[in-house]
C-alpha cells in the first residue's frame, strides 16, 4: 500500500465512520467535482503518513505526480492456452 506511489481507490471521499450504504463505493459515472480517496504513502510522503490507513482526497480529474493505481487481474479458474 505504500512505497513508490500512493494509490487511487474506488471510494468517493466521505468522513468517518465508515458506512458502505452511503454510496462511497458506487461505480456509476461521477461528475468531475467528486473527490476520490488516495491511500498509502509515496516517495514524497512524510514517514508518519507512509502507512496503509493514511488517506487523502483529491478531485477525480486532478493529476498527481506521486499517485498511481494498481492493476488487478482475476483468473476465474479458466485455463489459458499458449499460442
What is the tally of structural domains in the chain? 1
* Residue 81 belongs to a domain: no
pTM of the model: 0.65
Low-confidence stretches of the chain (pLDDT < 70) are: 1-3, 28-32, 77-83
* Residue 82 belongs to a domain: no
* Residue 74 belongs to a domain: no
The reported pLDDT for the residue numbered 77 is 67
User: CA-to-CA distance for 17 and 12, rounded, in angstroms?
Assistant: 14
The reported pLDDT for the residue numbered 1 is 47
* Residue 35 belongs to a domain: yes
Domain of 45 in residue numbering reads as 6-68
Cross-sheet strand order for the sheet of 55-59:
55-59, 35-39, 6-12, 67-68
The reported pLDDT for the residue numbered 81 is 60
* Residue 77 belongs to a domain: no
Amino acid at each position: 500500500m505504500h512505497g513508490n506511489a500512493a494509490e487511487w481507490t474506488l471510494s468517493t471521499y466521505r468522513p468517518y465512520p465508515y458506512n458502505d450504504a452511503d454510496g462511497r463505493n458506487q461505480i456509476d459515472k461521477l461528475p468531475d467535482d467528486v473527490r476520490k480517496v488516495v491511500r498509502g504513502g509515496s516517495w514524497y510522503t512524510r514517514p508518519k503518513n507512509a502507512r496503509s490507513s493514511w488517506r487523502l482526497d483529491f478531485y477525480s480529474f486532478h493529476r498527481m505526480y506521486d499517485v498511481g493505481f494498481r492493476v488487478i487481474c482475476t483468473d476465474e479458474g479458466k485455463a489459458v492456452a499458449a499460442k
